[in-house]
Chains A and B, each alone.
Chain A
């Protein structure tokens, strides 16, 4: 377990933010942590699952994979977006 800061690039928001989770957190938990600072603040909530991908990647990371297992480096820019 370790603190994992990352750069949150939340789809529909106007700026990048610093967000921290734990290396044991899953991508769903990463997305929820990022959403706290964007959704219903400047981005409307949608009734769809949130997905996480490394900035510029074609595909999202699996929803249940942990930060540690995904081998993400601290301060990686992550894109968080509503599926579909």
Chain B
């Protein structure tokens, strides 16, 4: 019997918005989960996912992808690339796996919510394939670092991080749970699908995939490439949803969740991808700066997408463009200075040659961050390494949970604590957009305690840096370190000058 062409039966097969007989519509699709805007079913029936696939096609394609990835793993399994790789490259992989790995499983929950509560058949279908995608990603992101765990305990954090109170985990959970699994389905397909997965994951996955290929790390390059091809498909769950909301008078609601997600995504990726691209990646293998990747993959692409959809720029666009010049430099310096809190070894990346590159990409770097690093370098040259390690905690934002940073070395006090008093409690924010996100939904965020709040509440004992490290679940042998051998480049130039 001849088979029908897929497109002859696809629409009918996924038209599953039947009229319920034994329960009310709102019981089947509770508005708080499925559609707080109460749009009629015939509106949702116009949902048209741009990437259509069937289970049979899906399995065939995914099987081929897995064969590709696991073949590379088997072929390169006995290679000692990781042992020979520069420390900076290992740091990129450890931070990536630790911060991203377990999040893939949360993304599977997000997709399952769309598969169950989406009002459109196409949305549920896309969500279903998304579940399978994300479970596959989680498995990949666990199994690849697992084989390295016997060499070095930091690799164990690929599985462990998300279940600890490490500050990166607290920040990651706060963000991921906000944009993925605690909002109604139409909103989360925008916060996660349209914004995070369509744009920002490209910065991490595509930029690192390109770097990995240049490094000769074909295993990692294959893993992240394989994952991103899934992301770019199931992320499209958001665009038709956005189209429906805008066409039906819900632009303001859509704009709000997109704006909050864009900002929150920016904060996470400047912390994760920024230092990786501009500091950890070996200088001779760098293609572009983090800012250039952001301009190509985020600014140009996101601007085009929102314009197509009738969405405005976020109100804080100028603040974002300003932060693009400095925020990840501050985050990198903070990561390096508070390196015992990390499960990777953050290389400093500030040798004279690397500084030349930074100054070229970010004019003014030497007059701001460079001056702060000069003090660090002077300490290392004169045997005062203890002055390059923390004795207190950085202030953390009550929204993004990240350190509050600004360019140093100026007399303008650009560094600013954006405070807000709410129900008698003083909250601290890194920026106006983080404060705005809190103020627009205070009931949602007010109860959360940052690491600093937990410290001040006495939940962390003893109230010392070692007490905090213990609270984070990080032990000697796992804590980030830097042997600081890069300082020899400076010692040599001091000798040559004298």
A residues adjacent to B (C-beta < 8 A): 5, 7, 9, 11-19, 36-37, 40-44, 55, 73, 75, 77, 79, 81
Contact = CB atoms under 8 A, between A and B. Distances in A.
Interface in B443-461: 452, 455-456
A13 B372 contact: yes
A19 B392 contact: yes
Contact of B415 (A9, A36, A37): A9
Contacts of B376: 41-42
Interface of B: 330, 333-334, 337, 369, 371-372, 375-376, 379, 387-388, 390-395, 403-411, 413, 415-417, 419, 426, 428, 452, 455-456
A36 B408 contact: no
A41 B394 contact: no
Contacts of B395: 7, 15-18
19 contacts: A7-B395, A9-B416, A11-B413, A14-B405, A14-B406, A15-B405, A15-B415, A16-B428, A17-B392, A18-B392, A18-B393, A18-B394, A37-B391, A40-B387, A42-B337, A55-B416, A55-B417, A79-B413, A81-B411
Contacts of A15: 330, 333-334, 394-395, 403-406, 415
Contact of B388 (A18, A36, A41, A75): A41
A9 B395 CA distance: 10
A53 to B, nearest CB: 10
A36 B416 CA distance: 20
B404 A16 contact: yes
A73 B407 contact: no
Contacts of B379: 40-41
A30 to B, nearest CB: 14
Nearest to A36: B391
A44 B388 CA distance: 13
Contacts of B375: 40-44
Nearest to B425: A75
Nearest to B389: A41
Given A16-B428, A44-B375, 14 more contacts: A5-B456, A7-B417, A7-B428, A9-B415, A12-B409, A13-B372, A14-B334, A14-B407, A16-B417, A18-B392, A41-B379, A42-B376, A77-B416, A81-B411
Contact of B408 (A7, A18, A42, A75): A42
Contacts of A17: 392-395
A82 B408 CA distance: 15
Contacts of A7: 395, 417, 428
Contacts of B411: 11-12, 81
Nearest to B430: A16
Contacts of B456: 5, 75
A9 B417 contact: yes
A28 B413 CA distance: 20
A13 B392 CA distance: 14
Contacts of A55: 416-417
Given A43-B375, A73-B426, A14 B391 contact: no
A37 B392 CA distance: 7
Contacts of A79: 413
Contacts of B426: 73, 75
A44 B375 CA distance: 7
Q: Which 4 residue pairs of A and B lie closest in terms of their CB atoms, listed nearest first? A: A77-B417, A14-B408, A16-B395, A42-B372
A52 to B, nearest CB: 13
Please indicate which of the listed interface residues B333, B372, B406, B426 has the most CB atoms of chain A within 10 Å of its own CB: B372
Contacts of B415: 9, 13-16
A81 B411 CA distance: 9
A44 B405 CA distance: 18
A45 B392 CA distance: 19
A4 to B, nearest CB: 11
A44 B462 CA distance: 31
A57 to B, nearest CB: 11
A37 B337 CA distance: 11
A54 B413 CA distance: 12
Nearest to A37: B392
Nearest to A55: B417
B463 to A, nearest CB: 9
Contacts of A77: 416-417, 419, 428
A12 B408 contact: yes
Nearest to B376: A42
Contact of B410 (A12, A19, A42): A12
A62 to B, nearest CB: 20
Nearest to B390: A37
Please indicate which of the listed interface residues B390, B404, B411 has the most CB atoms of chain A within 10 Å of its own CB: B404
B417 A13 contact: no
Nearest to B463: A20
Please indicate which of the listed interface residues A7, A73, A81 has the most CB atoms of chain B within 10 Å of its own CB: A7
A36 B387 CA distance: 10
